[in-house]
Each structure stands twice: as C-alpha cells, then as structure tokens.
Amino acid sequence: MNGDLELRPPYLLFLGDAASALDCKTALGLVHWRPEECVGQLRYTNCRVDTGLPDMDIRQARRAGARSVVIGVAPTGGALKPDWESTLAGALDAGLDVVSGLHTPLDAFPRLANAAYRSVARLVDVRRPPGEIPVANGKRRSGRRLLTVGTDCCVGKMYTALALHHALRRSGHDATFRATGQTGIMIAGRGVPMDAVVSDFLAGAAEMLSPANDPAHWDVVEGQGALFHPAFAAVTLGLIHGTQPDALVLCHHVGRTHIDEFPRYPLPDLVTAIAAYEAAARLTNEQARCVGISLNTAGLNSDAREAALVEARKATGLPCVDPVATGVSDLLAALEPLGAAS
C-alpha cells in the first residue's frame, strides 16, 4: 500500500469555475471530514459551488496560514484550463504546495513544473499507485472486511465507509479505513488510487490494501465505480475480488434513474443490484453478503427522506440509513453476526 502522504495542511481549496457539486467531491469531502485542515476556498466569479469556507485569494490564504492549495475540482480528462495553470503557478511562487488527485501528473504542465522548479513549494500527485503490485493470489486471509458498493458512481460510498469506520472505532472495535480514491487518500493520508492501477493488477492491489489481520479487525474499504457503469465497472470488480469482503453495503442516490452522464443506462433496482454484487463477491468469499443499504438523500426534506428509507427497507429487508442525516448505527448492528457487536 502507498506509504503515508506528506501533505502539508492547512489547505486552500481551489474550485476554479466549477459548475456542480459532483465536480467538487474532493473539496466537499475535505470540508466534511477534515474541516480543521481547511482555511478557505478560491473560486472564480462564475463558480457555482460553495463549500461554506471563506473566499480567499493566494495572498489572503498565505496570511491565514495555508501551506497547500488542493485542487478540489476534477475537470474532465484531467486537463487544466490556462487560467487555472496561472493561478496554481502563482500559488507555487507564493510558497504553497499544489496537491492534485487528477490522472494527469502536475509536472506534465510546463508552467507548473517551471514554477515548482524555481520555488520551495512542491507538486504533490495523490493519484499515483505503488510501484510494485502483485497479481492477485485469491487466497483467503484472516480479518474482517467490509466494502461499500454502489448503483452508480458518486452515490456516497466514501462517506458511508468513513462513517462506518468512525462508528466501529467509537464502539471500541479495531478498524481501519482503506482509501481507494484521491479524496479518501487525502483524508486518510494513505491508500491506493485503484482507478490508476493497470487492470491486470486491480485485484492484487486490493489484496495489498486489505491484508491479513487479527480475526476481529475490520478493514472498511472505500468502494469505486459501479458494476452497472459502462465505463468504470472494471475497477469495481477488481476491488470486490481482491478485498474478499465479508460484508457489502449498497449505496444509492435517491432520485437518480440512470447512470450519471449515461442516460441510455438505467439504474438497477436495489434487489437486482444486491444480487449482482453478492454473486460477484462470492467468487473469492463464499460467505459474502449485503448487510445494509446506504441512501444519499441530499436535497430531500425529512418526510421524503424517511419515506425513501422505509421504501428501501421494505424492498430489501435490510437496514437502511443515510450516513449523513441519520447516522449508521443500524448498519453497525447488522455487523453483529459477523463479529462487530456494539
């Protein structure tokens, strides 16, 4: 697994001209889970996203104690717009590190590479997998593992995993959050960016990420992609086979009817999704089963949220929560038969 990242908080979160919250998962995730490490946001006038942090320019952030600028928005294809490069180069000239979770390395942009060369600041790429990853061996190993999976991308897999990890720890259980995406890695300080791993080694990377452990120890693994996604199903399957999960938690965004940005691909119903995930997981763990549902009910009022939770419980017969609005105690109770009694 990747060693500890040498990130230098506090952070100024760069949002640029982001058009939607889905584009800003990194910034919003850091604000939610590491608020003490975030001092401000840098937005252009046409930005439509607000993390709730104070708006700052580079100079103001420096005075506020910022040591790094985190690119909190994920542009399509990993390309940076020219004005973004100018802003980030200015941050480097001011002595601030620039931290990125993009597929394209920061030093591939000459303006940033030159600014870093003449500065004491660093270019930090989070989305770089370990150098040596073995092919998976498929051998069963000790310890307990939970994997969050989804009906689609961007449905709350990371939030659910982090909430469950915190709940397990608060209940006195030995548990580790295993990050698999750029935002989770920034929050945890370590992990493996699974979508940057060569496909033949995905399951091997997942085995590295969640190694053998004490029988009562829980690895809570952040899921990626979705089995039903026409572009990103491969990373999901590699994670499933490599983690050999004892427990799956299915995540879903209420109201979404098709794969985001793929309108020709309708989402499966929850029961169909559970069956598909359990079938995939039982290749490497015959006892794998879905233990609960995590709904993202953002935008719903309390009555609509409760109705969605009730409907999901009736449809699946499983405990159902919104980890942000209701907490995850019902999911924690569902882990009792697997060795996580509260």
Q: Is the pLDDT of residue 1 over 60?
A: no
Query: What does the pLDDT average to over 287-292?
Result: 98
Q: Is the dihedral of CA 25, 27, 32, 34 positive or negative?
A: positive
| Cα 209 versus chain centre, distance | 14
What is the CATH T-level fold of the domain 144-338, as seen in this structure?
A: Rossmann fold (3.40.50)
pLDDT tens, position by position, 237-251: 999 999 999 999 999
Q: Kindly report, residue by residue over 162-217, the tens digit of the pLDDT.
A: 999 999 999 999 999 999 999 999 999 999 999 999 999 999 999 999 999 999 99
**What are the tokens at 190?**
């370590």
What CA–CA distance (Å, rounded) separates 274 from 183?
26
Q: How confident is the model at residue 304 (pLDDT cuts 50, 70, 90)?
A: very high
Q: Give the pLDDT band (50/70/90) at residue 340.
A: low
Domains of the chain: which residue ranges? 11-125, 144-338
Q: Which pLDDT value is given to residue 341?
A: 42
Phi/psi of residue 40, nearest 5 degrees: -175, 175
Three-state SS annotation for 192-260: CCHHHCCHHHHHHHHHHHCCCCCCCCEEEECCCCCCCCCCCHHHHHHHHHHHCCCEEEEEEECCCCEEC
Quick one: pLDDT at residue 79?
A: 75
pLDDT tens track for 55-107: 999 999 999 999 999 999 987 666 788 889 999 999 999 999 999 999 899 99
Describe the crossing of helices 202-209 and 233-243 by its angle, rounded to 10 degrees: 50
Assess whether pLDDT exceeds 50 at residue 51: yes
Q: What is the pTM of this model?
A: 0.94
Top-tier CATH class for 11-125: alpha beta
Closest-CA residue to 105 (of 71, 154, 66):
71
pLDDT of residue 280: 98
Q: Is 129 left (phi over 0), alpha (psi -120 to 50) or beta?
A: beta
In the predicted model, what is the mean pLDDT of residues 221-243? Answer: 97
- Residue 310 neighbours by CB under 8 Å, 6+ apart: none
pLDDT of residue 81: 86
User: Contact at 8 Å (CB) between 41 and 13?
Assistant: yes
Same fold, 11-125 and 144-338: yes
Q: Work out the percent of the chain whose per-residue pLDDT is above 90.
A: 90
Are the C-beta atoms of residues 233 and 241 closer than 8 Å to each other? no
Mean pLDDT of 8-16: 97
Strands 247-253 and 289-296: parallel
pLDDT at residue 342, rounded to an integer: 38
Cis peptide before 10 (omega within 30 of 0): yes
Question: Which residues lie below 8 Å from residue 149, measured CB to CB, with a gap of 6+?
Answer: 157, 223, 226, 227, 236, 240, 248, 249, 250, 251, 273, 277
Residue-by-residue DSSP string for 58-124: HHHHHHTT--EEEE----GGGPPPHHHHHHHHHHHHTT-EEEE--SS-GGGSHHHHHHHHTSS--EE
pLDDT at 336: 85
Helix (H/G/I), strand (E/B), else coil: 295: strand
Taking 70 as the threshold, does the pLDDT of residue 325 lie above it?
yes
pLDDT at 2 over 60: no
Cα distance between residue 29 and residue 37, in whole Å: 12
Closest CA to 240 of 198, 189, 205: 205
Pairwise CA distance, residues 178 & 188, whole Å:
8
Q: Compute how many other C-beta atoms are within 10 angstroms of the C-beta atom of residue 62.
A: 17
Give the pLDDT score at 77. 65
